[in-house]
Amino acid sequence: MPVAMQKIGLIALGLCLSAGWVKAQEKAGFREYNKVITTYPFSDPNPIPAFTNIYPYFRYDGFTDKPVQKEWKVVELQNKYITLTVLPQIGGKIWSAVERSTGKGFIYENHVVKFRDIAMRGPWTSGGIEPNYGIIGHTPNSVTPVDYIVRNNDDGSVSCIISVLDLLTSTTWAMEINLPKDKAYFTTKSTWYNANTLDEPYYHWMNIGIKTKGNLQYMYPGTGFLGHQGEHGDWPINKQNGKDVSFYNNNNFGGYKSYHVFGKYTDFFGAYWHDDEMGMARYSGRDDKAGKKIWIWGLSDQGMIWEKLLTDNDGQYSEIQSGRLFNQTSPESTFTPFKHKGFAPGEASVWTEYWYPVLKTKGFVEANNYGALNVKTGNGWLKLALSPVQKIADNLVVKQGETIIYSKKLELNPLQIFADSVQMDAAKGDVLVTLGRDKIIYNSKPDEGDLSRPLNSPKDFNWNTAYGLYIQGKELMDEKAYPQAEEKLQAALKLDHNYVPALVKMGQLHYRNLQYTEALELVKQALSIDTYDGGANYYYGVINAKLNHIADAKDGFDIAALSMEYRTAAYNGLAGLYLHEKNYDKALEYAAKALDFNRYDLSALQVQAIAYRYLLHQQQNAEQVLAQILTFNPLDHFAGFEKYLWDASTKTQFTASIRNEQPIESYLELANIYYQNGYLEECRKVLQLSPKNALVNYWQAFLQHKAGRPYLEQLDKAGNATPAFVFPFRADDEEVLTWAMQQSNSWKPKYFLALLYKDRNRITESKNLFTQCGNQPDFAPFYAARAAMQIGVSDLTDLQKAISLDKEEWRYYKLLSEYYVSQNQYPEALATVEPFYRKHSENYIIGMLYAKTLLLNKRYAECAKLLSGINILPFEGATIGRDLYREAKLMLAIEKLRSNNYAAALTLTAAAKLWPLNLGVGKPYPENIDERAEDWLTYLCYTKQGKNAEVRKYLQKIIAFTPKTDNTVKNFLPANTLVTAWAIEKLDGKAAATTWLDAQVKQYPDNNIIQWCQQVFENGSAEKADASDTIVRILQQLMTLK
């Protein structure tokens, strides 16, 4: 075909597609396309195993201020009222939501993708609606590809479904983004299931970005707010300064803000931009989402620095969030009523949320799936405004007492705004506004919906009893802090070795740690005290099933089923045992029982699907089960694979559905389902389809062995495969790797099993396996990992070996330099990092470490010069660059003071108070800057100069500084407590200083640095100082001048 004809054909095709798209918008439609967006990419995945709670994930550490033009996949959903875009390659974020009549977005759309080091794994980008499921936000999948599909629905709506496996909890979540054909809202429906035999951490928050410009008001009914630590304050009026903090601009004090608004029985929240006459609302049943949070970066430079770090031209944003729990709990929240929550075995969570624009209502006091209503009174008038999101044909009625003061029949289309007013006598009482019988109900009584839930734990509650320690252990397990949980549970059992809840929890923990015999003894002890305890019976069943004690396992599950808490999980346990025995009728019987109590029970449905596939003439039943699974999660890979087993022609459809960041883990997770149920051939077939790595190869060899087939080829492939980014974490990996160790002289199965044991807190066994590998590995991350195990004799040589194997990897130089610092070998630390940085001066992470080693070697002028030229891209809450800068300037000032050059010392001290932007830290409000060390140095200079008025002024300034914690953010540096004590001693005497110090120690009993301050003040020195604290190092020098 001639080129001209090709062009004509393409134009015609484009016109046809455009016409089809427009016609589709009379209802709802979707399209997928690629879009080039200015992107500041992330890079540099860390190959060293993460011995933290993000294992088996790895971090990305590469960030840049240099943009590229990158093509991203975009899914667009559109109806008459709303256009949505979803970016499945960036965590499935709903990237934009636009109200079509105005062309304005009602969530924050970032027109660049600017990744910065904020999330658990590093990269995160602002804007849109971000789903978070797992242990804490921002979760591991927040910016990486997820599985997704887009579809037209029978009701005329369109949906984009996203789903991914969370490796931290071994749970899969799915979220359907649905846009109806005739509504001005969209919904998100979440489905999350724990198919594991153990409790898992439970955390979910939806994070919505909104712009802050436009006289933003947060529409959050409540009487108070909770903080991350369970502390609480007033809402919306801040009693300390009288400001209405529901208005964004009134938060111009303090630091970052986290308001978990609380105290009213409400099921909605939102935002309204008064200058734009527009807002947005979010609604769900309150039983689905009781938590509602506001996050503000802070309006000082401390927060506003992040505007340019996260966008180019879209301005600052704030976050409004919906959560399953009242607050996003930090560890300290354990000691309040607001604790963490576990995700019980077999538990399913399903909920739906509504999101929509609000037009020209001047705010709103009520919102649900029918629309947003505003009611205002003043000057003898009642003003009403309604922004509907679906068709309305109902009466709007206003009552004052029993008197109807307003009634009108409304006939409205979505976003057809209604506004009216009526005179009223406010003295006659509050009003009740209703739309229809009960579509929207608003009562203006100020205390309507007020809650009386306790906010404080009893002051005399003893956290050191068996029960108190048990709670702490359980809380730590719900945070995925298993080693610390074990310590608390051991302490509880030390106080009462027959305390049943602690015995059961410790049994769970030993089961998780693959210590099945020890776990069994603990739950048997619990059963010896209470033979009907539900948890003890359930885990007695789980552990015996793992040990192949089938009769005991059935016995445990039978009795556990008497307990409502464990009934579904126990029936699942029995169904799985019978499926393993090929007793399909019994398996189906108990799967049906499980589904009687939880229709979302994925494990029971899986049992049914497998059983029906093996029974004759049951394909139709199997297909019905698979259809049911796909109703809950259309991206369920088990259902996709089962369909492939029935019909091999669906192979491509199945494999194409797995397109997340780590597809190998999806295949291994699926294979594990079949392995645990005893279906090794299906397990083998799954792994045949999987992309390959060393662990997949070991599994394949192991399955060949179990089937009595040749396995050496697969074993050789495993031995020759790279170990890079292979991080085993599943319980059944232990059996495979133990077998592989016995079949091969390779170090790799030992290394992989060592990683698994480290993750399961089997530290001694892990160290032994690392040691057994000797110096055979030619893989640098192995040596870095072994050094991190702190075996002792090999730590230094391991880090040196890592560098010898990979001389260009900056992490090994960093680790070796930090090792020398930990050993107080500062010259060696500097000699390690300095030459590398000179060759790689663009690496600001190494640059900061270089600056630190210069400081520790007392080369202060060189450190200050280095920091004047470095450009740091920070991570959230990071202040290290500015801390190093202040220390360098103050150390130089101390040198000048020693040489009696007071003017130069004062100049350097003043410079230490600056906040250079290149260091990646913004300046807080003055009341949140702790300059007591700088002021003490200034006081010393003026003392030497005999300027008594200035001397007194700076002593008074030091004393006037008030240490406080506002919204979990401390405004003070603990070591400066000593400076205040010195200043009080100078003005008011030592007794007054001692009294003040005692009060600080009492207020912060767990702060070791404040205790150090007390010891230094009382004794002139302390046994041990925290030399990693910059202010401690400065004070140690100041003490020589005092």
pLDDT at 18 over 80: no
pLDDT tens-place string over residues 434-467 = 999 999 999 999 999 999 999 999 999 999 999 9
Q: Which distant-in-sequence residues (6+ apart) come within 8 Å of 739 by Cβ?
A: 702, 705
Question: What would the 3-class secondary structure string for 617-676 be?
Answer: CCHHHHHHHHHHHHHHCCCCHHHHHHHHHHCHHHHHHHHHCCCCCCHHHHHHHHHHHHHH
- Report the alpha-carbon distance of residue 179 to residue 824 in Å, rounded: 61
Question: What would the 3-class secondary structure string for 338-393 be?
Answer: CCCCEECCCCEEEEEEEEEEEECCCCCCEEECCEEEEEEEECCEEEEEEEECCCEE
pLDDT at 7 over 70: no
Give the lowest-confidence range in 271-285, 794-808, 872-886.
Answer: 872-886
470 backbone dihedrals φ, ψ, rounded to 5°: -60, -45
Give percent of the chain with pLDDT exceeding 70.
Answer: 97
Instruction: Please check whether the two domains, 464-565 and 861-1038, share a CATH topology.
Output: yes
Domain parsing of the chain, residue ranges: 22-357, 360-443, 464-565, 779-857, 861-1038
When pLDDT is averaged across residues 514-531 and rounded to a whole number, the result is 98
The whole-number pLDDT of residue 317 equals: 98
For 56, the token pair is 């088996």
When pLDDT is averaged across residues 720-741 and rounded to a whole number, the result is 98
- Say yes or no: domain 360-443 is CATH 3.40.225: no
- Report the alpha-carbon distance of residue 111 to residue 311 in Å, rounded: 8
- Report the alpha-carbon distance of residue 710 to residue 647 in Å, rounded: 28
pLDDT at 568 over 70: yes
603 falls in which pLDDT band (50, 70, 90)? very high
1 falls in which pLDDT band (50, 70, 90)? very low
pLDDT at 8 over 60: no
Q: Which of 204, 176, 76, 193 is nearest to 635 (CA)?
A: 176
For 168, the token pair is 């931290």
Task: Count other Cβ atoms within 10 Å, centred on residue 409.
Answer: 9
Residue 420: which region, alpha, beta or left (left: phi > 0; alpha: psi -120 to 50)?
A: beta
Q: What integer best gives the mean pLDDT of the chain?
A: 95
- Report the alpha-carbon distance of residue 633 to residue 191 in Å, rounded: 7
pLDDT at 682 over 50: yes
Q: Which distant-in-sequence residues (6+ apart) come within 8 Å of 120 by Cβ?
A: 54, 57, 136, 137, 138, 139, 140
Q: For residue 177, with 0-12 CB atoms within 10 Å meaning exposed, 13-18 middle and 19 or more buried, which class applies? A: buried
23 falls in which pLDDT band (50, 70, 90)? very low
**CA 709, 710, 712, 713 torsion: positive or negative?**
negative
Strand order in the sheet with 381-388: 366-368, 371-378, 381-388, 418-423
343 falls in which pLDDT band (50, 70, 90)? very high
For residue 231, give the 3-state DSSP assignment. coil
The whole-number pLDDT of residue 702 equals: 98
Contact 1004, 996 (CB under 8 A): no
When pLDDT is averaged across residues 859-881 and rounded to a whole number, the result is 90
The whole-number pLDDT of residue 877 equals: 62
State the fold for domain 779-857.
Answer: 1.25.40
**CA 796, 801, 807, 808 torsion: positive or negative?**
negative
pLDDT at 875 over 80: no
876 falls in which pLDDT band (50, 70, 90)? low
- Report the alpha-carbon distance of residue 749 to residue 744 in Å, rounded: 8
pLDDT at 12 over 50: no
Helix (H) or strand (E) segment spanning residue 9: helix 3-24
Q: Which distant-in-sequence residues (6+ apart) come within 8 Å of 413 by Cβ?
A: 388, 391
For 858, the token pair is 């007392």
Q: Which CATH class is domain 22-357?
A: mainly beta
The whole-number pLDDT of residue 1042 equals: 62
Q: Which distant-in-sequence residues (6+ apart) come within 8 Å of 32 by Cβ?
A: 73, 74, 75, 76, 150
pLDDT at 5 over 80: no
Contact 613, 642 (CB under 8 A): yes
CATH architecture for residues 464-565: Alpha Horseshoe (1.25)
Q: What is the DSSP letter of 139?
A: P
Distances (CA, A) of 1018 to 246, 560, 959, 1040, 1041: 46, 59, 19, 16, 17
The DSSP annotation for 267-333 comes to: SEEEEEETTTTEEEEEE--TTT--EEEEEE--SSHHHHHHHHHH-SSS--EEEEEEESSSS---GGG
CA 1009 to chain centre: 29
When pLDDT is averaged across residues 407-424 and rounded to a whole number, the result is 97
Cis peptide upstream of residue 236 (ω within 30 degrees of 0): yes
The whole-number pLDDT of residue 1006 equals: 87
The whole-number pLDDT of residue 1022 equals: 78
Give the lowest-confidence range in 25-34, 49-58, 659-668.
Answer: 25-34
For 253, the token pair is 């004090």
pLDDT tens-place string over residues 126-178 = 999 999 999 999 999 999 999 999 999 999 999 999 999 999 999 999 999 99
Which of 316 and 1025 is assigned the larger pLDDT? Answer: 316
CATH number of 861-1038: 1.25.40
pLDDT at 968 over 70: yes
pLDDT tens-place string over residues 783-819 = 999 999 999 889 999 999 999 999 999 999 999 999 9
The whole-number pLDDT of residue 20 equals: 42
pLDDT tens-place string over residues 714-729 = 999 999 999 999 999 9
pLDDT at 22 over 60: no
Contact 383, 301 (CB under 8 A): no
pLDDT at 672 over 50: yes
pLDDT at 16 over 80: no
Helical spans, DSSP H, in 709-858:
712-720, 733-743, 748-759, 763-772, 780-788, 795-805, 810-822, 826-839, 844-856
34 backbone dihedrals φ, ψ, rounded to 5°: -100, 140
The whole-number pLDDT of residue 874 equals: 83
CA end-to-end span of the chain: 91
Which pTM was predicted? 0.95
